[in-house]
Structure 1
């Protein structure tokens, strides 16, 4: 697994991000302590630049692995419910985590948004990539190929971070008039040049800028990252194309989604994990599935100790040591008896307080994220399902059916024999195959479907009818207050 180094550069960037809320760039630069390494000095050599790039991956990993984003799409869509409290006065009771209470009820507040840290951290990552891009050309000790590789990875990170913000803060494309539909602020310059107060792009423009960054990155990638560690831990030409295919899907650009997904499937040099290894590979420690195209690996310190992983939310260790999120019956009930993916759930009886009495109730923990799992950003299974959805929209029903059946055959599920109700079959297959990997709520929004949460729902709002302004979250008020040009989302 990759080791994310805690560099002074990263600490400086964090300080810089905060200070720019309070003072100008020139003020900050004038106050640099002489005993510290300035950003200019840090980014003046290839070694410093690579340390900065590695730190940016660390920031990105921490942001997507953070509880808010890591569980958001599955929690909102209905794949997840909660475990009983282990100790204390609330022992045996089931409650909603307080840091997601408003989001879970589709009642997030702009003034105290549950996602403020995600919003800020995303733009912090983007600022880091922009600093790298602004300094990389001046490196005296890097070749042109090396400079291009650094640019490629920074551009891919920038595109990916903007894309995730788009999912959270912009309605799925086409839900309102395209010329008026809001995207996000797209930052292409760092804060080192001074504070600006941009407006949100239209959603069409936002997607165009994301795609532009990815395409430039694809032109710059070489065969290998300059960073140490497993190749699947970093953006490369293959997984950047996987990102591009997903962006095209979100944009409803079916032809490009089909062609890009098809390119990855045919040319990635990666095969679907076979049936006989599928469950065991998810269960293995410290190594992702062989079909993973990008996993943001678990950070470790110099002694090899894990700093945090998705088991912090999904892990089961004993009946007195387990975490918050388990599969709902809404999800579990979708699997056929022959489906090997049913083996990916670890059923445990936990003492639960019901009508004042402790009762052992079965809860199903996912095996996908036990031990030390990294954040799985892209894997090949998703590309088959992207190609299937694009084929469906292009009218190629047989290809759509065949791609769905490829995933179902691997799972030993009953194969589709007709092209009837393919949209429903596709959505169900995505839900079963990609559960807990951050897709369901965004899939429902993209396909203009309502949310219906039944098992384990603790909210007064267990359903969300489409369309609704609550399919997106509010821009945090403090950001609106700092930038009068920043338009708030409807209903917040």
Structure 2
């Protein structure tokens, strides 16, 4: 390893141990392949060298930026975050947002709540997530040993990478419960690692995000892009994590800091444009096609042929006069006009001839208002909770909330989150789960609902590779 090193994070540390030498030979083509696949779309850096001497790999900021660009590319096009198997669609059909009309067996397991531990999507989520976590750890290890990258640049790169590691783990723990929190690049150690209690996983996530906030203090996102996670991105995720772990004061404080740094986009039609002033972090589409994953997946172009449509359960929860129903929901009928379906139309452009006007938004300001509203209600400040809730309602053309007790306000916030954040990265499912509403809501809609459906099973192949991941989650 002292002679020639290619960015080691491309290696998967546990599953492919027998192919280790093969990957060392193949990895030389990784950086060139990354460029060809459009990784550099995320950041404007020079094309990386193909062969890197170990002593200089992490002494060149452009090389590390290219490594991070590859992670952003994989977040965008693969795995659970924004790809074809992303949380938006899969958790939309698992919860009560989307109906599924396709023929994929693994998707039907999600829609019908019959997910088995051999489900191919779960395996792809698990493998892809830990692949990127390993990549992040390799970057962090290299940055720590680097002495030639300017201090502020090294801090920014370190902060971005810590954020990514925390972000991916936050999805894993929400989906699977107890999981390994990986911070090492020792593949021998990683292949035998055990699962960590959920509370400890969240402690690790919080620690990574707090460090990321400190490292990112001098990182500024370009207006109109916001494709690089900065300090406010880390704060936004940490506010969400504090909400999930019921640390109301801390969640409220951080949400306030983010709210003060941005402004709500007044026009609903502009919220999902790449230039939206309320966007905190987004992923830039690839060169071809010049559109977003969300537009590709959710806009119905013809009936039959559609995969998803908005559920009646969601549509019935919009109030009369809600402008989001008009601006963010599209309608499509078949040629005989005897079948009409509605679809999420937040992202409107299936194709743009020059450059996409819409990026895949992962964090936006409206969520922070709803986080603060919920935490204020929990802390007994009903007036402030109503005020934050009304910011979102008024933007949608609705009058101020009439909720004035704790339970009424919490119910109003949950409904507002449903109609504001629908078809966005599984928010609805995570809300139903964390508030304890999933059994009440989904048992009526899903005939196969079982309480153990709150967690997914650990993929069976991973259990066979590493028995230390046992026991399997209850019910599977």
Name the TM-score class by shorter chain.
0.7 to 0.9
User: Residue 375 of structure 1: which of 360, 363, 366 is its match?
Assistant: 360
1:469 corresponding residue in structure 2? 452
1:239 corresponding residue in structure 2? 233
When normalised by structure 2's length, the TM-score is: 0.83
Given that residues 270 and 276 in structure 2 are in contact (C-alpha distance below 8 angstroms), is that contact kept between their aligned partners in structure 1?
no
The list of structure 1 runs, each at least 4 consecutive aligned residues, that deviate by more than 6 angstroms after superposition, is 32-36
User: Residue 75 of structure 2: which of 36, 60, 65 is its match?
Assistant: 60
Write the distance in 1 (CA, Å) between the matches of 2:92 and 2:422: 7
Q: How many corresponding residue pairs?
A: 435
Deviation, structure 1 residue 194: 5.7
Write out per-residue CA displacement over residues 232-255 of structure 1, whole angstroms, 9 at most, x where no aligned residue. Answer: 111100111000000111111111
SS at match of 1:65: coil
Write the distance in 2 (CA, Å) between the matches of 1:38 and 1:118: 30
SS at match of 2:293: coil
1:315 corresponding residue in structure 2? 299
Given that residues 292 and 376 in structure 1 are in contact (C-alpha distance below 8 angstroms), is that contact kept between their aligned partners in structure 2?
yes
Given that residues 244 and 260 in structure 1 are in contact (C-alpha distance below 8 angstroms), is that contact kept between their aligned partners in structure 2?
yes
1:349 corresponding residue in structure 2? 333
Write the distance in 1 (CA, Å) between the matches of 2:298 and 2:337: 22
1:166 corresponding residue in structure 2? 173
Residue correspondence of structure 1 range 286-297 to structure 2 within 5 A: 287=274, 289-297=276-284
Unaligned residue ranges in structure 2 (runs of 5+): 30-49, 350-355
Q: Does 1:478 align with 2:464?
A: no
Are the structure 2 counterparts of residues 323 and 20 from structure 1 closer, same or farther at C-alpha, using a change threshold of 3 Å? same
1:426 corresponding residue in structure 2? 413
Q: Does 1:336 align with 2:351?
A: no
2:433 corresponding residue in structure 1? 445
2:268 corresponding residue in structure 1? 278
2:162 corresponding residue in structure 1? 155
Q: Does 1:258 align with 2:252?
A: yes
1:412 corresponding residue in structure 2? 397
Write the distance in 2 (CA, Å) between the matches of 1:184 and 1:30: 28
Given that residues 341 and 411 in structure 1 are in contact (C-alpha distance below 8 angstroms), is that contact kept between their aligned partners in structure 2?
yes
Are the structure 2 counterparts of residues 447 and 339 from structure 1 closer, same or farther at C-alpha, using a change threshold of 3 Å? same
SS at match of 2:51: coil
Moved more, 431-440 or 288-297: 288-297
Deviation, structure 1 residue 289: 2.9
Write the distance in 2 (CA, Å) between the matches of 1:44 and 1:187: 25
Are the structure 2 counterparts of residues 481 and 363 from structure 1 closer, same or farther at C-alpha, using a change threshold of 3 Å? same
Given that residues 133 and 182 in structure 2 are in contact (C-alpha distance below 8 angstroms), is that contact kept between their aligned partners in structure 1?
yes
SS at match of 2:235: helix
Are the structure 2 counterparts of residues 345 and 29 from structure 1 closer, same or farther at C-alpha, using a change threshold of 3 Å? closer
1:396 corresponding residue in structure 2? 381
Unaligned residue ranges in structure 1 (runs of 5+): 1-7, 83-93, 171-182, 352-357
Write the distance in 2 (CA, Å) between the matches of 1:123 and 1:307: 27
Given that residues 271 and 278 in structure 2 are in contact (C-alpha distance below 8 angstroms), is that contact kept between their aligned partners in structure 1?
no
Write the distance in 1 (CA, Å) between the matches of 2:318 and 2:116: 36
Write the distance in 2 (CA, Å) between the matches of 1:55 and 1:254: 35
Please give the root-mean-square deviation of Cα atoms over the aligned residues, in Å: 2.9
SS at match of 2:331: strand
Write the distance in 2 (CA, Å) between the matches of 1:245 and 1:193: 35
Given that residues 127 and 191 in structure 1 are in contact (C-alpha distance below 8 angstroms), is that contact kept between their aligned partners in structure 2?
no
Given that residues 315 and 322 in structure 1 are in contact (C-alpha distance below 8 angstroms), is that contact kept between their aligned partners in structure 2?
no
Write out per-residue CA displacement over residues 402-461 of structure 1, whole angstroms, 9 at most, x where no aligned residue. Answer: 211121111111322341311211110000111111201110110001353699x7x643
When normalised by structure 1's length, the TM-score is: 0.81
SS at match of 1:295: strand
Write the distance in 2 (CA, Å) between the matches of 1:200 and 1:313: 34
Given that residues 314 and 366 in structure 1 are in contact (C-alpha distance below 8 angstroms), is that contact kept between their aligned partners in structure 2?
yes
SS at match of 1:346: strand
1:365 corresponding residue in structure 2? 343
Greater relative contact order, per chain length (Cα 8 Å cut-off, separation 6+): 1
Are the structure 2 counterparts of residues 230 and 151 from structure 1 closer, same or farther at C-alpha, using a change threshold of 3 Å? farther
User: Residue 45 of structure 1: which of 60, 63, 85 is its match?
Assistant: 60
Given that residues 279 and 340 in structure 1 are in contact (C-alpha distance below 8 angstroms), is that contact kept between their aligned partners in structure 2?
no
Given that residues 167 and 442 in structure 1 are in contact (C-alpha distance below 8 angstroms), is that contact kept between their aligned partners in structure 2?
yes
